[in-house]
């Protein structure tokens, strides 16, 4: 997506070969028009595939997931990283390792927001090692629902996430694919 690539080049900051800071428009301050355009683009890619719900992992994927869900006319569900006092029973959980933050967390979803009849689109902000998306996939499969695919805002294509997901037979659609990154260097892959 040219619009996202331009925004990354204008406002994003590669801190090193693996960390991209996009807090001025994605994960601290949010550009709502960009979020709408990204959500719409992801929805357009998966339109007509029978998506019944859009899932995202808190928190940076929420805005584009809402717009994707709105475009598809389906509900959006937020998978929780933090233990909630109101989600005590009847939940699906799986452990996920965040390489960026260096922590493990329990990804949690209330069982009443998914059924075996659901066909889920997962939307997330970044794809690097694929751990968060793989955790979401595990939760969806525990509920015996199916997965339409995974919509990603920014993919670090030099890391193994896409391969991990595609090996599971999943359709991965990324709006911006970074092939190489370092301080003051961001190179995109164009298919």
Annotated binding residues for xanthine: 20, 27, 156
In the numeric block, which tokens belong to residue 107? 């990804």
Cα 77 from Cα 180, distance rounded (Å): 32
Binding-site residue set: 20, 27, 128-132, 156
Residue with tokens 């992801």: 42
Binding-site residue set for 5-phospho-alpha-D-ribose 1-diphosphate: 128-132
Q: What is the DSSP string of the chain?
A: -HHHHHHHHHH-EE-SSS-EE-IIIIISS--HHHHHHHHHHHHHHHTTS---EEEEETTTTHHHHHHHHHHHT--EEEEBSS--TT--SSEEEEEEEETTTTEEEEEEEEGGG--TT-EEEEEEEEESS-HHHHHHHHHHHHTT-EEEEEEEEEEETTSTHHHHHHTTT--EEEEEEEEEEETTEEEE---
Cα 69 from Cα 171, distance rounded (Å): 18
């Amino acid at each position: 997506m040219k619009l996202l690539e331009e925004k990354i080049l204008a406002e994003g900051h590669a801190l090193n070969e693996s960390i991209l800071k996009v807090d001025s428009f994605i994960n601290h301050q949010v550009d709502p028009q960009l979020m709408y355009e990204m959500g719409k683009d992801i929805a357009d890619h998966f339109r007509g595939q029978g998506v019944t719900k859009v899932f995202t992992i808190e928190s940076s994927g929420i805005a584009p997931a809402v717009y994707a869900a709105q475009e598809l006319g389906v509900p959006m569900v937020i998978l929780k990283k933090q233990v909630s006092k109101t989600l005590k029973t009847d939940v699906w959980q799986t452990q996920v390792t965040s390489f960026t933050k260096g922590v493990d967390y329990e990804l949690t979803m209330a069982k009443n927001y998914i059924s075996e009849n659901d066909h889920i689109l997962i939307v997330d902000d970044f794809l690097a090692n694929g751990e968060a998306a793989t955790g979401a996939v595990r939760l969806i499969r525990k509920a015996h629902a199916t997965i339409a695919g995974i919509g990603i805002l920014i993919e670090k294509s030099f890391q193994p996430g896409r391969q991990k997901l595609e090996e599971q037979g999943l359709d991965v659609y990324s709006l911006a694919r970074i092939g190489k990154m370092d301080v003051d260097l961001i190179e995109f892959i164009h298919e």
